[in-house]
Amino acid sequence: MAEPSGIKSTDPAKPHAFILEDARLAAVLSDWMRWLEDERRVAAHTIDGYRRDILEFLTFIQHHQGGVLTSESLASLRPAEFRAWLAKRIGDGLKRTSIARALSVVRNFFRWCERNNRLTNQAILSIRTPRLPHAVPRPLSPDDAIAVIETAQKIADEPWVGLRDAALFTLLYGCGLRISEALALTPGHFGETSDSLIVDGKGGKQRMVPVLFVVREAVVAYVKACPFMLAVGQALFRGVRGGPLNPGVAQARMRLARGQLGLPDTATPHALRHSFATHLLAGGGDLRAIQEMLGHASLSTTQRYTEVETDRLMAEYRATHPRA
């Protein structure tokens, strides 16, 4: 039978389609994907990642077992089979962060199945997540963040594109937005006199962030120069052909700007969000307030930025203290 909608692979590097022959399992997968989209309000790019990870897992299990994959066969999986899948991922050269993400997706699927009486497998609970390296955000310095914005505007082929890139990067740095959040904005998000912005974050959660004058000024300059009609319900940021700006294009513009400035590969659009939080904290910002502005569900996620500030202070101490 055909695959359920939302479970078909679109990876051009894997032209062979993964086919579920068991109708019951196909329906389970389809319902899970629909739940992610409709109830969990998972972002489209995240759903694509879930799709890839669950397809890779199911493909491995089907080849490993050598038979038709069913709900019953998934329910009977043993810890050794989950570990064999993880070993395959390691052998493929995937980073530990990617392996941990894939395991999280598979766990999510099995938890959902158990809660909805589709299938139960306790073996997945015995599989430990690979130990991850301790990651500390890598922000830009204030001068470099401003230089990126100015350079992105200067190197554009068309003036309005330069104003667009400057407005986008100013939003990331001035409001701490994720690139997906900024590209989801419409002209209707910006009132004529409002000094705040309602952002649709992860999981459909909304938050309010303050909008600095310099941010509003950059957006207004872009809107005035944009050659396309910017209707209230449509994308604020446009590509050169008039469609919504693709995240890959924004990342490419950042690569060009950092190349001009000689900045490291860690200077990405997301690094501007890191810079927003780090520079606020360095200026005495309240950690809880920064958490709310970033849209972090957990304070521990925001606390990573205190480590960045501590590292900076220690470096300054070692460079300037006479006994260091």
Distance CA 187, CA 235 (A): 7
What is the phi-psi region of residue 66: left when phi exceeds 0, alpha when psi lies from -120 to 50, beta otherwise? left
Residue 12 has pLDDT above 50, yes or no: no
Two tokens at 43? 């972002």
Q: Where are the beta strands (DSSP E) in the chain?
A: 196-200, 206-210
Domain with CATH 1.10.150.130 in the chain: 23-126
Distances (CA, A) of 155 to 152, 168, 238, 246: 6, 15, 18, 19
Q: List every span in the chain annotated with CATH 1.10.443.10.
A: 142-320
Q: Are 120 and 113 spatial neighbours (Cβ–Cβ below 8 Å)?
A: yes
Identify whether 45 is a catalytic site residue. no
Cα–Cα distance measured from residue 217 to residue 213, given in angstroms and rounded to the nearest whole number: 6
Cα 162 from Cα 93, distance rounded (Å): 39
Q: In the annotation, is 224 catalytic?
A: no
Mean pLDDT of 44-58: 89
At residue 3 the predicted structure's pLDDT band, cuts being 50, 70 and 90, is very low
Could you confirm whether 178 is annotated as catalytic?
yes
Mean model confidence pLDDT for the chain: 82
Q: What whole-number percentage of the chain has pLDDT above 90?
A: 42
Q: How far apart are the first and last CA of the chain?
A: 70
**Active-site residue among 216, 238, 273, 274?**
273
CATH topology of domain 23-126: DNA polymerase; domain 1 (1.10.150)
Highest average pLDDT, of 136-150, 243-257, 264-278, comes from 243-257
Comparing 54-58, 208-212, 288-292, which segment has the lowest mean pLDDT? 288-292
Supply the DSSP symbol for 106: H
When pLDDT is cut at 50, 70 and 90, the band that residue 91 belongs to is: confident
Q: Which of these is catalytic: 178, 216, 238, 253?
A: 178
273 in catalytic set: yes
Rounded to two decimals, the pTM is: 0.60
274 in Cβ contact with 173 (< 8 Å): no
> Active-site residue 296, yes or no?
yes
pLDDT in tens, 100-156: 889 999 999 999 999 999 999 999 988 888 776 656 667 888 899 999 999 999 999
Is-contact 172 179, C-beta < 8 A? yes
- Let me know the angle formed at the C-alpha of 105 by 104 and 108, rounded to the nearest 5 degrees: 85
pLDDT digits (tens, 9 = 90+) for 215-231: 999 999 999 999 999 88
Say which of 88, 189, 255, 270 is annotated catalytic: 270
Is domain 142-320 given the CATH code 3.90.25.10 in the classification?
A: no
DSSP state of 244: B
Whole-angstrom distance, CA of residue 181 vs CA of residue 192: 20
Lowest mean pLDDT of 17-21, 79-83, 120-124, 293-297, name the range.
Answer: 17-21
pLDDT > 80? residue 203? no
- 16 catalytically annotated: no
* pLDDT at residue 301, rounded to an integer: 65
Among residues 64, 83, 101, 202, which one is catalytic? 202
Q: Are 96 and 131 in contact (CB under 8 A)?
A: yes
